[in-house]
Structure 1
Amino acid sequence: MLKTGRIYVDNAGGSQIPQDVVNRIAETCLVQAIGVQEGKEAATKLLNATSLDGIVFEGSSTANMDVLMKRLEAEGEIGSGDEIIVMAGEHEGG
């Protein structure tokens, strides 16, 4: 429960940061290196990926989709006339 008794909800680009996150950042000056590594390890387990190399983090969902689509296009995996179906849950959640 938040100390204020309120929950602030933002979209994926929001700036509300839970106190636990602030505390974790304060524990180390290497938050990016440590946080990303721990995040990749957790995502690897969650997604049953075969290696950490299969996990990529970007700055936003929009950036993720841009990188993914450019890569698929460059490798000939997607082209003109192909469609990507995104369900409302994925769109709103990311």
Structure 2
Amino acid sequence: MARHSIKSFNVSVNASGDAVDVDIVTELRKPYRFVLRPDVHYPTAQDIEAKLTAALSHCVTHHQKADFNIFSERSYISINVKGFIDTRFTGDSL
């Protein structure tokens, strides 16, 4: 698991309201881009947006790093911010 500093991010429910578009800029050259979809853990796109926005805002405010693991074969993204969030979201990396 690689830990990354969050420089900026955008988390927003897409136009159809059935998924969340995520762009995360870290110290890496290429930003992380995801499309996350509701599942049993986060039943609405608004739930995903709220949880992820809170976690990434925490990283920016407190200069804390986040871990991202992409499991393409299972269509989920694992995101960990130590002491704040350790969860996985159903979705895909773009």
In the superposition, the TM-score normalised over structure 2's length comes to: 0.27
Counting strand residues as a fraction of each chain, which structure ranks higher?
2
Counting helix residues as a fraction of each chain, which structure ranks higher?
1
